[in-house]
Structure 1
């Protein structure tokens, strides 16, 4: 993980000061997305301070699209990012609009490393149950931030797995935020092929929806498997391949596999038209 310390040169209000807290006041971590397709800590600081009139930028850390982490505040700073909850939560912002974009592989890799970094520096354990999406706080269920499947994300953090999770997602209602038709139109404008509410990636042959709890397996170079974690109903993963080892397994990327089990997973393939459109990109 690459970290740049911006605490002494990031824009702050000329006279407004943020309240202070003790480390013992901190109860958890809130994950945000920037709701912008690009950006940086400097851009967010200008908006928060110059437009919103806040004392400082709202996030303690910003994870850029290339995985670079910008450290923007001290843990003692009560930064303005979740209203009445500010005193008790550290804010991490991923750059991106995850209603129609996905976090990059570099961002997925940086997040668990950053959480480990914060745990070490603060001495706080931060169990995964204390890592929340902005949209999961009672006062912000309307916010759709970070618009990710936080249950899957927490499961992956717990297991040390950096697989992508579903975006354009309302965690409480378990539904897409923007309709698949609108997402598909947005995708065509960005030279992407959309399959319902998610981008169809090159090399992808299908998708799996988890129907009942089932193991996610990690294979080594000798095809031996070790359990990574238990996947939960509703989780959705891209499929990049299939083979007959271990009773038949689907490859979901990065060396991870899901066993073909009737009643436990639902496997679907995209239409021929979508596959042809993908080849033309």
Structure 2
């Protein structure tokens, strides 16, 4: 598994949202630089363009580390006129990429395909989208798709057997206390940055979704913590809370 650096709470926030079902394409980009990360791109380019948010959901650094920048529900500024329906992954480089980066892209792309119900044919390079005129992503996408297709083997990602412990639609993670299944659409809240004790509505979870729970608090009628500063109120008619079995926890702890 690749190293994930979660910076979602440090990036310029997106003020728009979309439904996961709207995502129909995964785009590969390159940075057209030999180095850099989200913060370098933001300070040296994006902020100068007047952007209010970043360009990519994920950025793969030269050592293969993945910066997780935005959740899929937030469109980013990757490709004009195509952002509402696209999940953007950028590989740092200018037409030349490391083996670690390619391995990371394969793994992250296969996971995104699974999460959004997409196929290999839905993975496109920036320059394969209509209305674009660019050399990005600096690689032959036919070769990329060929590799992805070869890796579409049950229980394998990147050619290595996965040891994921799946619990319904989600993978059981260390530190996870349980999960919620959304029975009816429900609001997500974050604490006010002004330490007033108030909470702010940020988005809505749709019926049928499953989400990991990492903690619980009694505040505001009882709330489950989903990570990344997000809380969901304990409302039995809207969500079903479950805890993992002892057998699942034992398997997780033995990894």
Shorter-chain TM-score: what band? 0.5 to 0.7
Task: State TM-score, norm by structure 1.
Answer: 0.52
**Superposed structure 1 runs of 4+ greater than 3 Å apart:** none
Larger Rg: 1
Aligned to 1:262: none
User: Is residue 66 from structure 1 mapped to residue 93 from structure 2 by the alignment?
Assistant: no
Kindly indicate whether the alpha-carbon contact (under 8 Å) linking 2:57 and 2:71 is maintained by their aligned counterparts in 1: yes
Residue equivalent to 1:30: 27
Query: In the aligned structure 2, how far is the partner of 1:29 from the partner of 1:119?
Result: 8
Say whether the 8 Å CA contact 1:48–1:56 is kept in structure 2: no
Aligned position for 1:9: 10
1:147 maps to which residue?
138
Tell me the secondary structure at the aligned position of residue 44 of structure 2: helix
How far is the alpha carbon of 1:4 from its aligned partner? Answer: 1.1
Structure with more contact order per residue of length (Cα contacts < 8 Å, sep ≥ 6):
2
1:43 aligns with 2:43: no
Taking the TM superposition and a 5 Å limit, the aligned residue runs for 1:47-196 are: 47-98=44-95, 102-120=96-114, 122=115, 124-140=116-132, 142-160=133-151
User: Could you tell me how far 1:48 is from its partner in structure 2?
Assistant: 4.7
CA RMSD of aligned residues (A): 1.9
Cross-structure match for 2:250: none
Q: TM-score, normalised by structure 2?
A: 0.57
Q: Is the 8 A contact 2:110 2:148 kept in 1?
A: no
Q: Structure 1: which 5+ residue stretches go unaligned?
A: 164-281
